[in-house]
Structure 1
Amino acid sequence: MNLEEEFAEYRGELVAHCYRMLGSLHDAEDAVQETYLRAWRGHADFEHRSSVRTWLYRIATNVCLNLLQHSSRRVVPSALGAPGNDPEDLHAQALEVPWLEPFPDQLLGADPATVVGDQASLRLAMVAAMQHLPPRQRAVLILREVLTWPAAEVASLLDTTTAAVNSSLQRARAELARLKPREEELSEPDEPLRRALLDQFQAAMENKDLVVLEGLFSADARWEMPPIPTWFRGRTDVLRLLDSKLRPGPGRRVLIETSANGQPAFAMYIRGTDGLFHAHSVKVLTLSKNAVEAVLAFHQPALFPAFGLPLIHGRS
């Protein structure tokens, strides 16, 4: 296997690693591109004291740390303030806010369950929680607990001591325990209940069937819509939002199933005045054993190509 083939073999997991660090798919892909450029330039000096994979992770981590010196943490609407309760009073899109982005599972190039590192560390709630950690602390947590690197190897990468790495890891664990993302305590339903939940959600959203949706959402369900800062919590308020914003009648919307961050997701298309279905949002679902607990609806059509989806859907 030549060097180019080795680089290609690790691309998916490197993008996932940079995504955990940066919270942005686009930034992660840029970071991996920069990683490969640095690797090509420095390959003559690479003395194979470690594997190519370890060498690439070292470069990628440093690229991410450099990027994080000049950027703010990625956020979701619920991190910015209290929920709203009036669907007619939504804040305008806040395009200047560095929003968390979803990670298309297909970019891993393999079954997400077999990707290097703990799959749970890619879930949206965990990535959002990790954004609260200082960059070097975030790197320590990911390298030690997701990639299971020895403390001494992490210390070498970060040019610090093993004791400092262990101390940083303790602080990172304590902060995540304080944040305690609720989604990480949930267990998804087994098949066929999971399949039934997703099928019902898809059909009910396409047909604006609020009765079915009421039965699908948990009492404390959450709905967020970055880059719109306003978000809603509680089944009643979520249903009020959907009643206000979903146009009634069949043929208004099409939902295409996909997956992101190891979670079920749907890409929603809205029928335009031209009769075509145009990309609208990517909705990532958090499920419990018998309900939809949260929907993060990314109103960012530019994300669709990363999911292998067109901006205009052929059904008319």
Structure 2
Amino acid sequence: MSIPNAEILLAFKAGRAFRREGSSIIEPSPTKGAIYLTNGVEDGLLHFIWRNRVTNDIEEDLILFPFDASFVKVSQSPSGRVYVLKFSSSNQRHFFWMQDASSARDAEFAENVNGLLQDPEYDMRWSDPSASAAGPQASTSTTAQPAESSSTAESTSGFQATPEQLATLSQMLTSMSGRRGAPSATPDLSLIDILTPANLTPLFNSHPELIPALFPHLPPDLPVPPSAEALQRIIHSPQFRAAVANFDQALRTGMLGGLVRTLGLPEEAGAGVGPFLRAIQEQADRERENSMDTD
């Protein structure tokens, strides 16, 4: 099974670790890697995948059933960043160590892994992306919006955007990057602070051709037909904020390199919010230059 043909539920950087022969000592391997939890397209089952980030090869692909596995910190590890995937139905043990530069989100990743291992429909819980950004200046919204309850913010679903939906987002951000006063592509910005009603409404007003382009990507169970008014209601909804937060979190894992290539962006654009926004800006600049050359 290839990762691009699966629904990626969760991804984060992690290397493998191995038990030293004849001892209980766990030794981390220096090889750069990533853990993916996916829903297989062909079998519909939950897969726990380890991919080598140097060769891009999938070196482990484990099919997991609900309540059969858990992802637990190895308390004896000196670094405190080694985890073991263990099974209740067998003596299998697979050891991994977290490779994010900071350990601040280790427990968060482990909690979401365990949630998915218990229930593939688990609504993953994330801390507020804007709160994790550097400094209070990360909040750029100038229009007061209805306060979102903590329970709503915590119950956002896993990132499930398709390439088509990402292409739409790319088109929107490209248009925004061409507007005077558009947010600069700095690493501490959050997409939650960029894709706000205050920013999107002027964008739709100045580029009405974007509105019908978004209709195919609206939820199929809308109570009203797709329209500019329905789109306004959506961008003000907690569900839209949750979807943006999930995409923001997925970008922050640095694991979307393969997916953003489908937008014509370089793989490094999937390494974080800042690189993604810079790549969108560069794409917009190239499109403007090409347009000027053909005038």
Q: State the TM bucket, normalised to the shorter chain.
A: under 0.3
Higher normalized contact order (CA 8 Å, seq sep 6+, divided by chain length): 1
Greater helix fraction, Structure 1 or Structure 2: 1
TM-score with structure 2 setting the length: 0.27
